[in-house]
Amino acid sequence: MKVQAKAILELKQWLDLRDICMKAAVPVGSGKTVNTQVITAPSYDSWTEGSALAAADPTLVSKSITLTPFGKVTQISDLLANTSAINFVEAIGQVHGACVRQGILDKIVDAIAGATSPNSKSIGTKGDVTEASFTLANVIDCIKENQADGWMPDYILTAPDKMWYAFTTDYTVSQFHGALADLLVKGEVPMALGLKWLVDPYFELAINAGSAWSGVDGEKYAIVGTKGISSIWAALQDDPLVEIYRVPTELSNYVVTHIDGGADEGPVNSICIVKHAA
């Protein structure tokens, strides 16, 4: 379908957080709950020459992902379709694709940010009720926290204004001049500190339960993690499905775009949350 093709195109043109997740298989007939496991970072063993080696099972953590349908449904009346100048294939595909992308981002961000006792970096002042912004030095602290637990982070997820503050505040640091030139001159987001910077304007609402940042103690501003480790995604479909049905008594067609999926966090020590002091 043309609408489905457009919805898929729009989905891929925006930030698709499924790219940073470990993909969990969804067997046919497995029901709405997908169970999987993640392995924690092991330590090495020392052995004594001539003695039998002692083996132990790896430490596994069970994860359970509940699949839920989400997407967008739009009613298009015959009168609207026949009198509007809008190209509905373009418009509906764009809106529905963006809604699916928004839902994927929301579920993955919620899963990572909801991890129990992850690493964290506090910024701002407790009780000041003032939204805080982080610097590259704060991001370095997050990297150190994860590395100390045996994980090598390779991405940071945040909102565009937080990225701009971090980059422009630390621009006087000479080692970043080359990387930041692409951002300041071309608007291209560079790699910095060995991390891929993933920015999305919806991130603020996704990580803050649908509300704008207000400086509340403990509110979260960014996530530092490892691709394929820090989050898990499971879905029945790789691409959104589009269904069109007609209700004759309403003289209307309905366009439904949906996907059935869910997310969970990976090993908590592979995650570091930048948050307001509390």
**More confident position, 102 or 10:** 102
What would the mean pLDDT of 46-55 be, rounded to a whole number?
82
Q: Could you give the residue range(s) of every CATH 3.30.2400.10 domain in the chain? A: 2-39+61-112+233-265
pLDDT in tens, 70-121: 999 888 887 667 766 666 666 777 788 888 888 999 999 999 999 999 999 9
Q: Could you give the residue range(s) of every CATH 3.30.2320 domain in the chain? A: 118-230+268-276
What would the mean pLDDT of 224-239 be, rounded to a whole number?
94
Hey, what CATH class is 118-230+268-276 in? Answer: alpha beta
What would the mean pLDDT of 256-264 be, rounded to a whole number?
93
Using alpha carbons, list the distances in angstroms from residue 277 to 14, 99, 126, 128.
Answer: 31, 32, 5, 9
Per cent of the chain over pLDDT 70 is: 83
Note the pTM of the prediction, 2 decimals: 0.83
Question: Which pLDDT does position 109 carry in this prediction?
Answer: 96
Q: Tell me the CATH number for domain 2-39+61-112+233-265.
A: 3.30.2400.10
Residue 10: pLDDT band (50, 70, 90) is low
Q: What share of the chain is helix, strand, coil (3-state, %, to 5)?
A: 35, 30, 35
Residues in contact with 260: Cβ distance below 8 Å, sequence separation at least 6, in sequence order: 67, 68, 69, 70, 235, 236, 237
